[in-house]
Structure 1
Amino acid sequence: MPIPKDLKRDKGWVGQLIEMELGATAGSKPEQDFLHLGVELKTIPIDSRGHPLETTYVCVAPLHNIQGLTWQNSLVCHKLQRVLWVPIEGERQIPVGERRIGTPILWEPTPHELQLLQQDWEEIMEFIALGKVDKVTARHGEVLQLRPKAANSKALTQSIAEDGSLKMTNPRGFYLKKPSQPTYSSGFLVNFT
């Protein structure tokens, strides 16, 4: 696979490389990367101290046709049931082809972490259901946030308007926030609190 000079235009390249090497089957489908194992694969760029350098994309957020959608049957809940975190050196001064891959960790959220995720998801989905998706900022949520998810601001999708009709807005995605005070196990972040 050709190695990009940098990841400005190839943001998902490292993740795609790891998925290909490990035989992940989901691609861009809305399911876990290793459906037969119940495992989602997430690469995470880290600094020299093992701290995450950015938030982690989980999945696209549904902005309409959400009647009957609950936390338990949401894609966010499904994808975060069991995650194989693969840390990658992510500091920009390290050429992409020279970045090292850290020791992966298989993580399952604790009941407390699941509660935090569900609480944030439900709060965000309430904004979406009330037609207030444009009022959700990255500051909403303790561990999960909603942010624009598109190559540029011209990409549009349908969402619920405040009067219940449909309107056009930028696509959104769910992201795990970077913790303000990380907790470490073997030098790598494994939980939110």
Structure 2
Amino acid sequence: MEQRKYKTKQEVLIRGQEAVGKTLGEIDKTGRIATGKGAIGTVVEESWFGYKPNSKPAPDFEEAGVELKVTPYRRTPRGIQAKERLVCDMLNYEEEYGKTFATSAFWTKCACMLLMSYEHKDGVPKVDFTIDKAVLFQFPDEDLEVIRNDWKILMDKIKAGQAHLISEGDTMYLAACPKGRNSQDTRSQPFSPIPAMKRAYSLKSSYMTQILRRYIFGDEPCEKIIKDPAALRTTSFEDWFSAKVRPYVGMSRTELKARLGVETNAKNLNELLVAAMLGVKGHLSNTEEFQKAGIQLKTIAIEPNGSIKESMSFPVMNFCAMMNETWEESALYDLLAPTKFLFIIFQKSKDGECYFQRVKFWNIPAEDLEEVHRVWQRTVDTLREGVHIWKDASGRNRNNLPKASESRVAHVRPHGRDSTDTAPLPTGGSMTKQCFWLNNSYVAKQIGKE
């Protein structure tokens, strides 16, 4: 095949825009998409751009300095959602740590991208998906400061001999996603004899959702926490955030409400108080930084004796869907592995008042995620074999799903409104809706770690 040359970014963009309105079936000259054996991006590159894919450490259109990325999205009640993370390039532990951000494999490849989007619809053949947008994308300054820090976090782990402990939740926008067949598919790392899971640079699905909404579909921008990108040139987002709320540590909720002018007693009062500390008018969860990073908020109330009463719950599990998932494809992995949490921590006093103690950004450590994997696998195995349900002496239903006493990290227990709130089982019949929980004792230990 004669390779077509693209010398400028504009030439690449024009050719990309000529594909808008065409189905993947119309674009594909190889027939691979119809058979399910072709990666969509590779086929578009080859069939539409007349460019033979290669594995060179350079953008697809090297002379123009543009990388091609074909990215799917879904339309949901909450708006446009990226269907998946955007995988950029393999992370070579043996080489990357010796580079600068500017010479890294990620930046060399993806400093400028042609993003071509299509809507994914369940049940619709791939050949019928239609390219609907094609835009040139370069990272805005405020994102670039965060991404540079994300890259540094990954490099610091490699240099510390901890490549095997890298997790997607370590970072905000730029992540290192699993790229092997499973956790046993590993490669060497330079500063430790422990093999590390194969990983690739990727942009988180939460980040891609915001890029699609803002730069492809033209949505209005969300409120920013940090108004000046230069603020992150000498510190990380997390450190900046923590420093801003530190002057309020030790104040009671009553004092904070008066000082910050917050008049509500809404259920999310603690979030609103922290937002006010930062000068944010709306909800923290709706800010640009939290939306792009997919940060989840959790309020933690520490009892007067230092304990935490409540375990941390995740959404109700779909028993039948779990039978067809691998761990890395599971709903639980997707909720936990790439997610960074913001714990808003208040200390209760004996008189019932709550005092602001601090905030903590947290993501589950790799070794603890593996323990959750074990609990998840035992749950799947039990569901597949058939859950045993019986009544105890007090007449309450019991089952043999993993209990808090079996794991230091996680367990399974009901999350239904009551015993009549049930879901179907894969072996027939039904049982009270269940969900995974992080043990309250585990959460307490994580809160205590600096």
Q: Does 1:15 align with 2:44?
A: no
Alpha carbons of 1:152 and 1:136: their partners in 2 closer, same or farther (altered >3 Å)?
Answer: closer
Counterparts in 2 of 1:129 and 1:186: CA distance versus 1, 3 Å: closer
Q: Secondary structure at the match of 2:124?
A: coil
Letter in 2 for 1:134: H
Residue in 1 that maps onto 2:152: 122
Q: Which residue of 2 aligns with 1:174?
A: 201
Cα drift, residue 132 of structure 1: 0.8
The answer (yes or no) to whether the contact 1:3–1:96 under 8 Å persists in 2 is no
Pick the aligned partner of 1:99 from 125, 129, 140. Answer: 129
Indicate which of 7, 21, 36 corresponds to 2:63: 36
Q: Which residue number in structure 2 is paired with residue 150 of structure 1?
A: 180
**Separation in structure 2 between the aligned mates of residue 179 and residue 16 of structure 1, nearest angstrom:** 24
Query: Are 2:94 and 2:188, in contact at CA under 8 Å, matched by a contact in 1?
Result: yes
Q: Which of 52, 58, 64 is the aligned partner of 2:94? A: 64
- Determine if the alignment matches structure 1 residue 187 to structure 2 residue 213: no
More helix by share: 2
Q: Which has the larger radius of gyration?
A: 2
Letter in 2 for 1:15: G
- Percent identity reads 21
Question: What amino acid does structure 2 have at the position aligned with 1:13?
Answer: A
Alignment-mate amino acid for residue 159 of structure 1: Q
Q: Please show how residues 45-56 of structure 1 align to structure 2 within 5 Å.
A: 45-48=72-75, 49-56=79-86
2:163: which partner in 1? 133
Q: What letter is aligned with 2:40?
A: V
Preserved contact between residue 116 and residue 133 of structure 2 (Cα < 8 Å): yes
Distance 1:23 1:129 in 2: 41
Q: TM-score, normalised by structure 1?
A: 0.83
Checking the alignment, whether the CA contact within 8 Å between 2:162 and 2:192 is kept in structure 1 is no
In the superposition, relative to structure 1, how do residues 174 and 95 fare at CA in structure 2: closer, same or farther (>3 Å)? Answer: same
Structure-1 separation of matches of 2:136 and 2:96: 31
| 1:85–1:66 CA distance, 2 compared to 1 (3 A) | closer
Provide the C-alpha distance between the structure 2 equivalents of 1:172 and 1:19, rounded to a whole number of angstroms.
Answer: 24
What is the CA–CA distance in structure 2 between the aligned matches of 1:2 and 1:188, rounded to whole Å?
34
Aligned-residue offset at 1:46:
0.9
Letter in structure 2 aligned against 1:179: S
Aligned residues: 187
Cα distance in 2 for partners of 1:67, 1:186 equals: 33
Residues 22-74 of structure 1, C-alpha deviations (whole Å, 9 max, x = no match): 13455222210000100011111111354211100011012114453111110
Q: Which residue of 1 aligns with 2:351?
A: none
Cα deviation code 1:84-124 (max 9, x no counterpart): 00102223322111111112110111222221111101111
CA distance in 2, matches of 1:114, 1:80: 12
**Which structure would you say has the larger RCO, counting Cα contacts within 8 Å and 6 or more residues apart?**
1
List per-residue Cα deviations over 1:127-170 (Å, max 9, x = no partner): 1111111222121111011122123445332113xxx3444332
TM-score, normalising length from structure 2?
A: 0.38
Indicate conservation of the 8 Å contact 1:58/1:174, yes or no. Answer: yes
Instruction: Please point out which of 106, 111, 121 is paired with 1:81.
Output: 111
Match of 1:113 in 2: 143
Report if aligned partners of 1:15, 1:43 keep a CA contact under 8 Å in 2. Answer: yes
Q: Which moved more, 1:178-187 or 1:113-122?
A: 178-187
Q: Which runs of 5 or more residues in structure 1 are unaligned? A: none
Unaligned runs of 5+ in 2: 1-29, 222-287, 293-450
